Amino acid sequence: MTSSNGAPDGFLAGCMDRLETPATIAMAQRARALKAKGEEVLSLALGEPDFPTPAGVIEAAHRAALDGQTKYPPVEGTPALKAAIIRKFARENGLTYEPAEVMVSNGGKQVIFNAFMATLNPGDEVIVPRPYWVSYPLIISLFGGIPVFVDCPEESGFRLDAAALEAAITPRTKWLVLNFPNNPTGATTTRADLEAIAEVLRRHPRVHVLSDEIYEHLVYDGQAHVSIAQVAPDLKSRVLTLNGVSKAYAMTGWRVGYVGGPAPLIRAMSGIQSSSTSGICSISQAASVAALDGPSGVVEVMRETYDRRRQMVVAALRQIPQLTCAMPLGAFYVYPGIAACIGRTSAGGRLLRTDEDFAIALLEEQHVAVVHGSAFGKGPYLRLSYATSDEILIESCARIATFVAGLT
């Protein structure tokens, strides 16, 4: 007997049943398969900056390699990078951390993995505002935790309502995940929202917060990003403030994420990392020091470009009669609603029962890759990443318009 992935029956651990391929990666794989057949596919499916890593960062990596920074680095991060992270938290978030309160991981994703592995017992609940980044529930479930979803409706800008949060808290709640600016909706949060959320958390002293602020630099229309640990300093000892260089500095391939939080939890997370990946690539850590300490103008140029594209894409999508499109205030995603398209048939004869049917038909018929909203827990929507060139964005929106115009 073999299981569905070809392994002998009973060989894979039970938790593997809960480990699905994230829809974002599945859609990118479909797009790659089409490309391999020689088709020209336009991809708005992946959340990856299209900019090159800043030259100064690459030079710092080169220097580090030549200087012999090629040995096993400390598990929790090099002293130089930890110092740069501490400066960054103080400068940009008004947060003071000691060296024992920060650590570096293999991307923000490993921070989440370490945190949940270190704390979740089977049946522990983690509140995840919905729509959510796909990896949260996957990682929570992997460790036997239960994701408890709280809806963030489009009518309220996909923001988290404090009363809805409180209604979801039970004696088993261990964590609340906050992710603003948000993937997939681009929603941001306000100081007032965070103050209301903090008020709820004060009434529930067992609940910790994983605040994923990886898109913090990408906010628009004159907003300023705020961290919950800054808004509510009394809660700082139960907040993990997660960040990384992937999105802000176009460094997805360097695999550096970092976190500030209470020392005992950081120690536990570091213990897990020690037994899994050890320290993070020494060259990438040197590069990340240059990124964090480097000129902020680099980030600002990218932010302005995303802002322009955001407005261009939303304007184009709003021209398409069957779509609704809220203006996102952060990150580099738009999340148009496609309710009016559901139940209709594409020009290629595909019945669109769900937003996933829509995304697959759009890819097959117009060669545009997007991710369906139900993969992020909320359909019928699509998530489009505008971290790609103007030409690709303009052509993709035109193809989406053609696809929708062809529905009967």
Ligand X SMILES: Cc1ncc(COP(=O)(O)O)c(C=O)c1O
| Binding stretches for ligand X (CB under 6 A) | 47, 107-109, 133, 179, 183, 212, 214, 244, 246, 252, 257
In angstroms, what is the minimal distance from the CB of 183 to ligand X?
Answer: 4
User: Smallest gap, in angstroms, from Cβ of residue 214 to ligand X?
Assistant: 4
Task: Determine the residue with CB nearest ligand X.
Answer: 107
Q: What DSSP string runs through 18-35?
A: G-PPPHHHHHHHHHHHHH
- What's the min distance (Å) between Cβ of 105 and ligand X? 8
Nearer to ligand X, 252 or 346 (CB): 252
Closest to ligand X by CB, 108 vs 157, is 108
Contact 266, 82 (CB under 8 A): no
Distance CA 281, CA 261 (A): 22
Q: Which is nearer to ligand X, 173 or 183 (CB)?
A: 183
- Going by their DSSP bridges, the two strands 146-151 and 125-130 should be labelled as parallel
Nearest-CA neighbor of 111 among 286, 285, 253, 240? 240
Whether 109 contacts 103, CB under 8 Å? no
Minimum CB distance to ligand X smaller for 116 or for 403: 116
As a whole number of Å, the CA-based R_g of the chain is 21
What's the closest the beta carbon of residue 133 comes to ligand X, in angstroms? Answer: 4
Is the Cβ–Cβ distance between 372 and 379 less than 8 Å?
A: yes
185 or 230, CB closer to ligand X?
185
Query: Which residues have CB under 8 Å from 6's CB, separation 6+?
Result: none
Query: Are the CB atoms for 406 and 346 separated by under 8 Å?
Result: yes
Phi-psi region of 135 (alpha: psi -120 to 50; beta: other; left: phi over 0): alpha
For residue 223, the minimal CB distance to ligand X (Å) is 18
Shortest separation between residue 148's beta carbon and ligand X, angstroms: 18
Q: Is residue 378 within 8 Å of 153, Cβ to Cβ?
A: no
In sequence order, the 6+-apart residues with CB closer than 8 A to the CB of 63 are 286
Dig out the tokens for 221 from the structure. 């229309």
**Alpha-carbon span 368 to 359, nearest angstrom:** 8
Q: How far is the CB of 251 from ligand X (least distance, A)?
A: 8
AA letter at 267:
R
Nearer to ligand X, 254 or 403 (CB): 254
Q: How far is the CB of 178 from ligand X (least distance, A)?
A: 10
Around Cβ 226, how many Cβ atoms within 10 Å? 22
**CB closer to ligand X, 178 vs 201:** 178
Identity of the residue, 45 or 290, whose beta carbon is nearer to ligand X in the bound complex: 45
* Smaller CB separation from ligand X, 45 or 404: 45
Q: Find the shortest distance in angstroms from Cβ 38 to ligand X.
A: 29
Provide the residue type at 369 as one letter: A
Residue 24 CB, nearest approach to ligand X (Å)? 8
Q: Which is nearer to ligand X, 244 or 337 (CB)?
A: 244
Nearer to ligand X, 107 or 337 (CB): 107
The least CB distance from residue 288 to ligand X, in Å, is 11
- Token pair of 130 as six digits: 């919905």
Q: What is the DSSP string of 68-113?
A: T--SPPPTT--HHHHHHHHHHHHHHH-----GGGEEEESHHHHHHH
Burial status of residue 307 (CB atoms within 10 A of its CB: 0-12, 13-18, 19 or more): middle
